[in-house]
Amino acid sequence: MIEVRDVRKSFGDVKALKGVSFTARDAQITALLGPNGAGKTTLLRTLVGLLRRDAGSIAIDGVDPQQDPMSVRRNIGFLTDQFGLYERLSTREYLAYFGQLNGMSKPDIARRIDQVTELLGMEDIVNRRSKGFSQGQRIKVALARTLLHKPRHLLLDEPSRGLDVMSTRALRRALVLLREQGCCVIMATHVMQEVTHLCDDVIVIAQGQSVAQGTPQQLCERTGIASLEDAFVSLVGEEGIVA
Ligand SMILES: Nc1ncnc2c1ncn2[C@@H]1O[C@H](COP(=O)(O)OP(=O)(O)OP(=O)(O)O)[C@@H](O)[C@H]1O
């Protein structure tokens, strides 16, 4: 479970987070919805302890990532917008390296590489070096790395960008499986269809503030609007300004 209370973060004069609060539960996929520049990436980076918050509290299964970053990172998979692939390593070598960093045994690593390769349909690239990989291929490798150690918490920053239809479906299947296994998934996305079909809970963030949380249906009921996309626009205002 991830609990966030009144988290604030500025970069100089830019107030990226101005008070974000929510709870993301285990065995749920929680969408983080917000306009460009709303603070989603900043929030995710703060949750894993890559950025220091200025104020507020964060508890990941009760642990503050600022107090104990290593223990939090062992239990988290984080897909960022920067994939950080090593071009001279094959996908298999790259995944094995991260498996070792996460303290997995060799047989475990070999088994999991086979599983994520099948899950994400990566058979064609698992033995290729990543130099020259397409955007979709790069994101698959990064996703595989994120899933390899079966993290208790999964934070995904726009995971389906650049994926083709088959890969998007594979990603959704992988997330549903993780949810069944009790994983707490938070996913920043702009794809409303993904939210409607996949997500149990939605956090709406605008201008650095959390403005609403609920199931897609609850957000529609709250705004009196049938479509989630229109409800979202109503909640954040046409210009991304909180209604
Ligand atoms: N390192 C930084 N230095 C200065 N400003 C930053 C930095 N990182 C983020 N910001 C600013 O903080 C605000 C929130 O940015 P963030 O990337 O978190 O938004 P986002 O919701 O992820 O946006 P998008 O949907 O466009 O990816 C923006 O105004 C951005 O310009």
SS3 label, residue 226: coil
pTM of the model: 0.91
The string of DSSP codes covering 51-73 is S--SEEEEEETTB-TTT-HHHHH
Q: What is the pLDDT of residue 114?
A: 96
The mean pLDDT value for 196-217 works out to 94
Give the residue-averaged pLDDT of 112-125: 92
Q: What are phi and psi of 172, to 5 degrees?
A: -60, -40
For the residues 222-242, what does the mean pLDDT come to?
82
Q: What is the C-alpha separation between 174 and 2, in angstroms, rounded?
A: 20
Residues 127-147: what's their mean pLDDT? 89
Which atom of ligand 1 lies nearest, measured to the CA of 208? Answer: 14
Asked whether residue 109 carries a pLDDT value surpassing 90, the answer given is: yes
- Residue 30: its H or E element: strand 28-33
Q: How confident is the model at residue 239 (pLDDT cuts 50, 70, 90)?
A: low
Residue located nearest, by CA, to atom 29 of ligand 1: 37
Average pLDDT, the chain: 91
Query: In one letter, which amino acid is 66?
Result: Q
pLDDT at residue number 73: 82
Domains and CATH numbers, the chain: 2-236 (3.40.50.300)
What's the CA-to-centroid distance between 10 and ligand 1, angstroms? 10
Pocket test for ligand 1, best of 13, 41, 53, 211 (most atoms within 8 A of CB): 41
pLDDT digits (tens, 9 = 90+) for 78-105: 998 776 788 889 999 999 999 998 889 9
Kindly state the average pLDDT of the residues 18-45.
96
Cα angle 45, 205, 23 (rounded to 5 degrees) comes to 70
**pLDDT at position 163:** 82
Interval 189-211 mean pLDDT: 93
Which of 33, 42, 47 is the pocket-test mutation for ligand 1 (most atoms within 8 Å of CB)? 42
To the nearest whole percent, how much of the chain has pLDDT over 90? Answer: 64
Instruction: For residue 241, name the pLDDT band (cuts at 50, 70, 90).
Output: low
Q: Is the CB–ligand 1 distance for residue 14 below 6 Å?
A: yes
pLDDT higher than 50, residue 243: no
